[in-house]
Chain A
Amino acid sequence: MSEAVFRTSPTRARRRPWWLVGISGGLVTAIPVVLIGIAVILIAPTYYQNLAATAAINLVIVVGLQVFMGNSGIAHLGHSAFAGLGAYGMAILATPLMMKRLSIPNAPFGLAQVELHPAIAVIVTLAVVAVVAVISGRVIARLSGIAATIVSLAFLIVVHSMFLHWPALFKGNQGFFGIPQVVGLPAILACGVAVIVIARLFRESPNGLQLRATAQNPQAADALAIDARALRRQSWVLSALICASAGILYALFAGTISPRIFYFQQVFMTLAMLILGGMGTVTGAVFGTLILSIGLEAIRIFESGGVVAGLTLPPMLGLSGVALGAVIVLCMALRPQGICGPKELDEMLSGALRRLRGTK
């Protein structure tokens, strides 16, 4: 076989390796989060601090959802199950023994006697979630799109039932309280930035690119020997770990959790956020979360009624649910790629910059 001789093309020198694109692009995408977060920390009253913390936790979930859904093109409805597993992992492992004697005195596997340092508990929890994700991912990865989505939904329901009906371990329907509240808004924001960068790194990585290819044309990907199943498994596990981190943060922030927090309400809210922003990009996940978090808070003001801009409004319960549904329907109908479109923020910025230079 003859060795190829190639000319060096001029564009080559300027291209950066994927990990550099991932890190720098992720950081650029995280800038709005950091700016808003700092502003809230510095000047906002406590109520808004808490609101921002919840929004930032949702951001972590939405980014986790994007890692699987955005790259594989398969709708995922079970991500809150992983958030729940993360939160309950912390509740079971990190809650002080004194509290546990009240809440789960008969926990199996000797867990009633376990009280880990929160940092150790995080590691153990993530390890357990990883095992669950690897097993469930094997099932999901071998199914076609719609079947995989239905199984992800079934997974959500199974995990939720487990929380409800295994009170010895999960304390059932009532809230699990007394989890050490060791996390505040700054730490949550830092995690938000970290997962944005991780999600972007995965998207730009050789495997992330291959997975996106399988979503766009499965046969063409097959013809290039791309292993769609293995890639779906990988992104499922990474997505699960990120969503579990959100649950961990929630538990360590709120100190109290209950099964219904990690159920349909959260699934559909985070799904609406991702669809609104655009599931193809991490940028979409970030902006969808920002916009809808702010939007839902505004709607909540209407929901509870009262006087807005001089008008007396009746309470309109359920308005936020309607709004979420409307966001999903309108986006799907009018702009399926979401408001951010197919490009990441840094790509849009550098494109705009190039156009500016071009017109001079």
Chain B
Amino acid sequence: MLSVAGITKSFGGVHALAGADLECSAGEIVGLIGPNGAGKSTLVNVVTGFLKPDAGTVSLNGREIAGFDPQRISDAGIARTFQNLRVFRELSVRQNVEVAFLRCRQLRPEKAMKVDVDALLEEFGLTALAETPAGSLPYGTQRWMEIARAMATAPDILMLDEPAAGLNNEETERLGRTITSVRDRTSAGIVVIDHDLRFINSICARIFVMDQGKQIAVGDPAALWKNPKVVEVYVGPDAAA
């Protein structure tokens, strides 16, 4: 289980995170939403070690990991995708996924036994594109590949930063089904950031809402949208009043 509490992070004068919290249990799909600039990506970067928090705690399965570097955190069992895609452009799709698996096999051989690169490619609809250089794929396909690559590390927690960005309705639905089935298959905890609220509502049991660097509400989809604070952020102060 991932549990994040009281994270603060400033860039110069900008308080990107001002006491942010997040929680995700094994087998749970958690949503993380909030307006642009709320600090969602910054929170992912802190949790995965790409940024050092100014204060706060990050614990994974009871072990404190705040401030570790990205390699150690990945080794500890948190995988991620990037809002601005980061693929190995000249490697083939298969190699992109395989390289993650090979590293996992070196570090955690017992977990890597549960990973099958070909099956992952199949699951994410990439089998036909396996030999294509990743850099020549359309944006949306690169996103799918990044998720498959992250899953090839056999993570306990998977953090997806806007996986549905740029996908059409049909693709978004398929993505939702795939994420759910990945969860069922591996019992990984999955944190999904997105602006597509219908998508978030359809797959998440619990949603964290952030604004201005901290959590303003948390709950299941049905309850959450009755919360005036959430309505205020999403629809505007007039509607909440």
Chain A residues near B (Cβ < 8 Å)? 1-4, 6-9, 11-12, 206, 209-210, 212-213, 216-217, 219-227, 280, 342
Give complex CA distance A2, B182 in Å. Answer: 11
Known A221-B88, A223-B80, A223-B86; 18 more pairs at CB < 8 Å:
A2-B184, A7-B122, A9-B121, A11-B130, A209-B99, A212-B88, A213-B91, A216-B90, A217-B88, A219-B82, A219-B86, A220-B149, A222-B70, A222-B71, A224-B100, A224-B104, A225-B70, A226-B103
Interface centre among B50, B86, B127, B153 (most CB of A within 10 A): B86
Residue of B nearest to A227 (CB): B71
Whether B127 lies near A9 (C-beta < 8 A) is yes
Contacts of A223 in B (CB 8 A): 48, 50, 70, 74, 79-80, 82, 86, 150
15 example contacts (A-B, Cβ-Cβ < 8 A) are as follows A1-B186, A9-B127, A11-B118, A206-B103, A209-B102, A220-B88, A222-B69, A222-B70, A223-B70, A223-B80, A223-B150, A224-B74, A225-B70, A226-B99, A342-B133
Given the contacts A206-B102, A225-B107, A220 and B87 also touching, CB distance less than 8 Å:
yes
Total A-B contacts with CB atoms under 8 angstroms apart = 104
B116 at the interface (CB under 8 A from A): yes
Contact with A along B117-132 (1 / 0, CB 8 A): 0110110000100100
Whether B114 lies near A12 (C-beta < 8 A) is no
Give complex CA distance A212, B92 in Å. Answer: 12
Give complex CA distance A41, B119 in Å. Answer: 51
Whether A217 lies near B89 (C-beta < 8 A) is yes
Contacts of A342 in B (CB 8 A): 90, 133
Give complex CA distance A227, B118 in Å. Answer: 24
B75 at the interface (CB under 8 A from A): yes
Residue of B nearest to A351 (CB): B131
Given the contacts A4-B114, A4-B116, A342-B133, A220 and B82 also touching, CB distance less than 8 Å:
yes
Among candidates A4, A210, A225, residue contacting B186 with C-beta atoms closer than 8 Å: A4
Whether B80 lies near A225 (C-beta < 8 A) is no
Interface of A is mostly: loop
Interface centre among A1, A4, A224 (most CB of B within 10 A): A224
The number of residues on chain B lying at the interface, defined by a beta carbon within 8 Å of a beta carbon of chain A, is 44
B226 at the interface (CB under 8 A from A): no
Give the residues from 196 to 232 in chain B that come closer than 8 angstroms, CB to CB, to chain A.
none
Contacts of B153 in A (CB 8 A): 224-225
Given the contacts A9-B118, A212-B91, A217-B86, A225 and B74 also touching, CB distance less than 8 Å:
yes
Contacts of B122 in A (CB 8 A): 6-7, 9
Given the contacts A9-B121, A11-B118, A225 and B71 also touching, CB distance less than 8 Å:
yes
Give complex CA distance A135, B169 in Å. Answer: 55
Contacts of A213 in B (CB 8 A): 88, 91, 96, 99
Give complex CA distance A223, B153 in Å. Answer: 10
Contacts of B82 in A (CB 8 A): 219-220, 223
* A282 smallest CB distance to B (angstroms): 15
Residue of A nearest to B185 (CB): A4
* A232 smallest CB distance to B (angstroms): 14
Contacts of A226 in B (CB 8 A): 71, 99, 103
* A10 smallest CB distance to B (angstroms): 9
Give complex CA distance A8, B122 in Å. Answer: 10
Give complex CA distance A220, B88 in Å. Answer: 8
Contacts of A9 in B (CB 8 A): 118-119, 121-122, 127
Contacts of B119 in A (CB 8 A): 4, 6-7, 9
Give complex CA distance A209, B102 in Å. Answer: 9
Residue of A nearest to B95 (CB): A209
Given the contacts A9-B118, A212-B88, A222 and B127 also touching, CB distance less than 8 Å:
no
* B64 smallest CB distance to A (angstroms): 18
Contacts of A222 in B (CB 8 A): 50, 69-71, 74
* A32 smallest CB distance to B (angstroms): 24
Whether A220 lies near B86 (C-beta < 8 A) is yes
Contacts of B105 in A (CB 8 A): 206
B194 at the interface (CB under 8 A from A): no
Contacts of B106 in A (CB 8 A): 206
Among candidates A6, A206, A216, A225, residue contacting B91 with C-beta atoms closer than 8 Å: A216
B162 at the interface (CB under 8 A from A): no
Whether B91 lies near A1 (C-beta < 8 A) is no
* A234 smallest CB distance to B (angstroms): 13
Contacts of A3 in B (CB 8 A): 114
Contacts of A4 in B (CB 8 A): 114, 116, 119, 185-186
Give complex CA distance A4, B123 in Å. Answer: 12
Give complex CA distance A206, B105 in Å. Answer: 10
* A332 smallest CB distance to B (angstroms): 17
Given the contacts A206-B106, A209-B98, A223-B79, A12 and B118 also touching, CB distance less than 8 Å:
yes
Q: Which 3 A-B pairs have the closest CB atoms?
A: A6-B119, A225-B74, A220-B86
* B60 smallest CB distance to A (angstroms): 14
Contacts of A1 in B (CB 8 A): 114, 186-187
Whether A2 lies near B71 (C-beta < 8 A) is no
Whether A209 lies near B127 (C-beta < 8 A) is no
